Structure 1
Amino acid sequence: MKTAINAIEWLVEAMGGLARLVVLALVLLVATDVILRYLFSIGPVAMQELEWHLISPIALIGLSYTMKHRADVRVDFLYERFNWRLKAFVDLVAALLTLSVAVIITYLSLAYVQQSFRMGEGSPDPGGLPMRYLLKAFIPLGFGLLSLQGLAESLRSLLVLCGKLPPDTSNETTDQTSTAEEVA
């Protein structure tokens, strides 16, 4: 199981690196668009569409990357007070719920992408981007990646609960250290 977790998280990390590159591309594209628009009075439709197209891979790939790095939204003021066993159980339930929702969205979005591909869907705007199905393909890709990360989180929580992995007690140690420093 540890090998599967490491393989999934390697993939999520690699895709997160791709998302970071897309952020850089978006920043450069917006800067170019602003320069063209305000200095040369040129505003290509395709460039403007590409800007909002690039937000999709950033958000959809970023979901799993955020989950891997535990930067997702959680009610920390309660979670911090839990012991390691309850934390692992909460993490397991959250990961299983994430996994189930992500699998459902992945499955349902495949038909949506296929329909767009069969239609040869493109931008309705003159000068817009063709092949809109490429943009829509990030929906099953992003949620498929989130499914994998949910699976990795589920497996990790199970290993912690079974005693095969040590619990993450970094917050507990930090809290005890800071409390000891405050008393001294």
Structure 2
Amino acid sequence: MQALLTLSRAIDKLNAFVGKYSIWLIFAATVISAINAVIRKTFNYSSNGFLEVQWYLFAWSFLIAAGYTLLNREHVRIDVLNSRLPKKAQLWIEILGLVFFLTPVCLLVLWLCIPMVAEKFTSGEMSPNPGGLIRWPVWAALPAGFVLLLLQGWSELIKCIAFLKGQGPDPMVKLSEKTAEEELAEVLRQHAAAADPAAKAH
């Protein structure tokens, strides 16, 4: 079990790293969108390539962050009934979902998309739009994203089994990372607390 938990921690670190830096893809898409708008207004010129690269970046950010989203238990869940069940029942529902739904779906998507990505890479398929981009880079986001999601699903499965055996923490609890809004509120509270003694001194 300890070897599996070590593997689980490694998968968690991988998806945490990918999720943390995938936001830069959204930033890049935003910058390209702004540059495209400026060029279009200033020089009356645009290209489908500018639009398509934004779609590519968004597709990559969305797909490769799926595993990170699962790690943080942020996928949409219907917990109205599940939350009322005993912890053991909740864990078994989680295990059954990971084994009989998430794993088969991920494997099916990989089985279907990997040959398509290989074919598009070999053929060098281009976008039919004038000035469009080569297609295989955006298609490659599918296997990359579903591999990360599948690995994270197996990591969650390991954690569920470890908890049932009394060898790990509760995997049903969300990670207690602060949101950007919470971090900002904390900084403002610290500034207010630091300024308060100075105000009293005056």
| Counterpart amino acid of residue 28 in structure 1 | V
Contact 2:8 2:158 in 1 (8 A): yes
After superposition, where does 1:9-24 map in structure 2 within 5 Å?
9-24=12-27
| Counterpart amino acid of residue 63 in structure 2 | L
Count of residues in correspondence between the two structures:
170
- How far off its partner does 1:165 sit? 1.5
1:108 maps to 112
- The structure with the larger Rg is 2
In 2, the alpha carbon distance for the partners of 1:146 and 1:29 equals 28
In 2, the alpha carbon distance for the partners of 1:169 and 1:141 equals 26
Please, what TM-score do these two structures have when normalized by structure 1? 0.85
* 2:83 is aligned with 1:98: no
1:63 maps to 66
2:158 maps to 155
1:50 maps to 53
Cα separation, partners in 2 of 1:118 and 1:73, compared to 1, 3 Å:
same
Q: Which moved more, 1:33-42 or 1:66-75?
A: 33-42
**Structure 2 residues not aligned, in runs of 5+:** 175-202
Which runs of at least 4 in structure 1 moved beyond 4 Å after TM superposition? 168-171
After superposition, where does 1:1-184 map in structure 2 within 5 Å?
1-96=4-99, 97-130=101-134, 132-167=135-170
| Counterpart amino acid of residue 151 in structure 2 | L
- How far off its partner does 1:33 sit? 1.8
In 2, the alpha carbon distance for the partners of 1:170 and 1:9 equals 15
Cα separation, partners in 2 of 1:152 and 1:17, compared to 1, 3 Å:
same
In 2, the alpha carbon distance for the partners of 1:40 and 1:55 equals 26
Per-residue CA deviation, residues 61-115 of structure 1 (Å, 9 max, x unaligned), is 1211111110001112223222221121122122222122112211221101011
Contact 1:15 1:61 in 2 (8 A): yes
In 2, the alpha carbon distance for the partners of 1:13 and 1:111 equals 28
**Structure 1 residues not aligned, in runs of 5+:** 172-184
Per-residue CA deviation, residues 114-164 of structure 1 (Å, 9 max, x unaligned), is 11111111122232212x111111111111111101110111111112221
Q: Superposition RMSD on alpha carbons, in Å?
A: 1.8
